[in-house]
Amino acid sequence: MVQVCIGTSLLPGYHTNLLEISDTARKLILAIIVAFVMNMHIGPASAGTIDDMFAKGWLDCGVSRDLRGFSSQQANGEWSGFDVDFCRAVAAATLGDAEAVRFTPLSPSEGFTSLKNGDINLLANHSTWTSSGGTELGLTFPVVTFFDTQALIVRKDMSANSTLQLSGSYVCVIKGTTSAPDVADYFTKH
């Protein structure tokens, strides 16, 4: 029996922190954040979200649970990663204080519900942009902050050159993500 894993995996020791990257990368990230804020659709729900942030004095930001490089909590309680830095940048841009943010770790299946219920103001995790998220839930996806793809990673000794050679293999995915139906659809169609 062969186990096949799907998704993205960060190398051990990989760490993303805006304070540790080059000035060029920092400027690019700042440009993306400015584009995000300028392109936000400010309707009744999002205006209420902004009012809520100002009334509380902080941003409630939903992040992934311990996704190295994107959002992870250190032993001392400090959060780090790309999504965490994004939340801090939004807090700095809207509230004038990068530390005026509270992080809520969420599973992929909890994110949209928490956002819809008003438990968080911003969802910055690995939520897939789907038409149902926009139409059925009434959520707005103002900008893509991270673009990835799906890939199957197999052991070298399998000598597989095509996904079609993986028939009968196990595929591991994170529960509650769109990966499972995507992979199932692929193998059904091929």
pLDDT digits (tens, 9 = 90+) for 82-115: 999 999 999 998 899 999 999 999 987 788 888 8
Can you give the pTM of this predicted structure?
A: 0.61
pLDDT above 90: percentage of residues in the chain: 21
Helix axes 23-38, 82-95, angle to 10 degrees: 60
Q: Which of 128, 124, 125, 105 is nearest to 179 (CA)?
A: 128
Q: Are 97 and 141 in contact (CB under 8 A)?
A: no
Residue-level pLDDT at 148: 72
Query: 40-57: per-residue pLDDT in tens?
Result: 443 344 567 778 888 899
Q: Domain 17-135 has what CATH class?
A: alpha beta
Q: CA–CA separation, 43 vs 60, rounded Å?
A: 19
In the chain, ranges of CATH 3.40.190.10 domains: 17-135
Q: CA–CA separation, 163 vs 151, rounded Å?
A: 10
Q: Which of 56, 58, 84, 60 is nearest to 70 (CA)?
A: 84
Task: Give the pLDDT band (50/70/90) at residue 149.
Answer: confident
Q: CA–CA separation, 116 vs 138, rounded Å?
A: 8
Looking at per-residue confidence, does 139 or 68 come out higher?
Answer: 68
Looking at per-residue confidence, does 52 or 59 come out higher?
Answer: 59
